[in-house]
Amino acid sequence: MEETVGRGLEDVVVAESDICFIDGHEGRLLYRGYNVDDLAREATYEEVAYLLWHGHLPKSAELKAFTEAIGKEAFLPPDVLAFLAGVPAGATPMEVLRTAVSMLSLSDPTSEHVGDQTDRTKALRLLAKTPSIVAAFDRLRNHQKPVMPRPDFGLAKNFLYMLHGEPPVDEDAHILDVCLILHADHEFNASTFAARVTAGTLSDMYSAITSAIGTLKGPLHGGANEQVMRMLLEIGAEDKVESWIKDALANKKKISGFGHRVYRTEDPRARHLRAFSEEIGTRRGDLKYFRMTQKVEQTVFAEKGIYLNVDLYSGSVYYQMGIAIDLFTPIFAIARTAGWTTHVMEQLAHNRLIRPRAQYVGPERELWVPIEKR
C-alpha cells in the first residue's frame, strides 16, 4: 500500500460526478452546469431540486406537477408528530431532525428497497417533510399547535408559514427560497460524503440522509451559521467588533463563517447572502447586524487574509427574519436534502463500497499479558 496520508482527504478525488462543480480559485459554483448566480436570480428551489434530480430544467407542466407533489407530501405521519410532541425539553432541533428523518422510514413500506424507482419517491418524501418536521417541532417546544402545510405554497413560503403561523411577506419568502437554492448542493462536502458512504454499503435512503444530518450538525460544517449569530450577539455592537476579533485570533480561535477547504477566494454564495442581510436590515430599519457582520468580514480579512464562507451572512439573514438561532442549521439541512438525495442516487447508479485505508502507526509486536499480570 502506498504510504501517504491525505489529512482530512484534502484534494483527494474519490469519484466522478456530474452533479456539482466548484472552482475554488475563481469562486464559481455550478449545479448540473448552471451557474448558481443564474439559478439564484432566476429559479425557484423546486426548480433547482428538479434540476439536481433529473439533470435538466423542468418544463412548466413538469415543474407544476413536481411542486404539487412536494405540497401533497408535506404532511407528517402520526408517529413522527407524536415523537415531536414528546421530545424531552432541551433537545436541539438538529438532534430532533436527525431522529425524525430516521423515523420516516418506519412509515414507508418500501424503506428497504434500494436503487430502484422508489428512491425518487423517498427523496421527494424527505424533501417535502423536513421543513414540516422543523416547523412543527419549533411550535411544539413553544407550546403552540403545529400548523398544517399549505400545499398551494412553495416550499420556502410554506416553511415560514408553518413556523410563524401566518403567511410571510413575499420578500422574506423569496429570500429564503434563494437561500435554499444557494445551499442545495456543494459537491463532496462532509455531509454529502457521509450520505454517499452510507449509500455505498447498500443501506437505504433514510439511513444515508440521517448520516448526512448528523454530519452537517458539527460547527466546522453547517453548525457554523448558528455560531456566527451567537458571536454577533456576544460582541453586541459594531464598535466592539475589531477588538473582539483581534483578541479571538490572538487566542488562536477560529472565527465561524470564515475559511473553506475548497475556496481560495470569496465563496460565490456569500455575495447573495451579504446583499440579503443588507436588504432585510434596510426593510426593517435597522442595519446593526449587517454592519456588524461587514465589520467582522473586514477585520478577519485584514488580520488573516481569510475569506468569508456561506455561513457568515446567512446568520444575520435568518435572524432578521425572526427565526430562532438553533433553526439555522436545520434550514441548511432542508436545503441540502435536494443535494444529498441526488448524490445517494448517483452513488447507487455506479456503486462500489467506499472503504479507504489507514496508515497504521501503532505497535506491532506486543506480547499477550494475562489479566492478573497487567
Where in the sequence numbering do the catalytic residues fall? 260, 311
Asked if 337 touches ligand CMC (CB under 6 A), the answer is no
Quote the CA–CA distance of 174 and 45 in Å, as a whole number. Answer: 10
Q: From 118-126, 130-138, 200-208, 257-265, give the range in contact with ligand CMC by CB under 6 A.
A: 257-265
C-alpha torsion 64→70→71→73, nearest 10:
140
Q: From 56-64, 204-212, 281-289, 309-317, give the range in contact with ligand CMC by CB under 6 A.
A: 309-317
Name residue 305's amino acid: G
Q: From 29-37, 64-72, 121-129, 304-312, give the range in contact with ligand CMC by CB under 6 A.
A: 304-312
CB of 8 to ligand CMC, least distance (A): 5
The per-residue DSSP string of 56-100 comes to SPPPHHHHHHHHHHHHHTTSPPHHHHHHHHTPPTT--HHHHHHHH
Cα 226 to Cα 89, 94, 325: the distances in Å are 20, 12, 6
Name residue 255's amino acid: I
For residues 210 and 101, the answer to whether their CB atoms sit within 8 Å is yes
Nearer residue to ligand CMC within complex by CB, 75 or 301? 301
Residue of this chain nearest to ligand CMC (CB atom): 259
Sole residue written with cell 456543494: 186
Asked if 258 touches ligand CMC (CB under 6 A), the answer is yes
- Provide the mask over 36-65, with x wherever binding to ligand CMC is found by CB under 6 A and - wherever it is not: ------------------------------
Query: Given 3-state DSSP classes, what are the helix, strand and coil percentages for the chain, each rounded to the nearest 5?
Result: 60, 5, 35
Q: From 46-54, 254-262, 277-285, 354-362, give the range in contact with ligand CMC by CB under 6 A.
A: 254-262
Site for ligand CMC in 159-218 (CB under 6 A): 189
Nearer residue to ligand CMC within complex by CB, 80 or 255? 255
Q: From 86-94, 221-229, 314-322, 349-357, give the range in contact with ligand CMC by CB under 6 A.
A: 221-229
Number of residues written out for the chain? 374
- Interacting residue with ligand CMC among 58, 93, 222, 281 (CB under 6 A): 222
Asked if 306 touches ligand CMC (CB under 6 A), the answer is yes
Q: Please work out the total of residues on this chain that contact ligand CMC, with binding judged by CB under 6 A.
A: 19
| Cα Rg of the chain (Å, integer) | 22
Asked if 330 touches ligand CMC (CB under 6 A), the answer is no
Asked if 130 touches ligand CMC (CB under 6 A), the answer is no
Residue among 270, 321, 55 at smallest CA distance from 164? 321
Quote the CA–CA distance of 250 and 230 in Å, as a whole number. Answer: 20
Asked if 294 touches ligand CMC (CB under 6 A), the answer is no
- Interacting residue with ligand CMC among 82, 85, 202, 220 (CB under 6 A): 220
- Interacting residue with ligand CMC among 172, 238, 311, 346 (CB under 6 A): 311
The per-residue DSSP string of 86-150 comes to TPPTT--HHHHHHHHHHHGGGG-TTTT--SSTHHHHHHHHHHHHHHHHHHHHHHHHTT-PPPPP-
Site for ligand CMC in 260-279 (CB under 6 A): 260-261
- Interacting residue with ligand CMC among 215, 299, 309, 314 (CB under 6 A): 309
C-alpha cell at 76: 407528517
Asked if 316 touches ligand CMC (CB under 6 A), the answer is no
Q: What counts of helices (H) and strands (E) characterise the chain?
A: 16, 3
- Interacting residue with ligand CMC among 255, 296, 335, 338 (CB under 6 A): 255
Binding site for ligand CMC (CB under 6 A): 8, 189, 220-222, 224, 254-261, 304, 306, 309-311
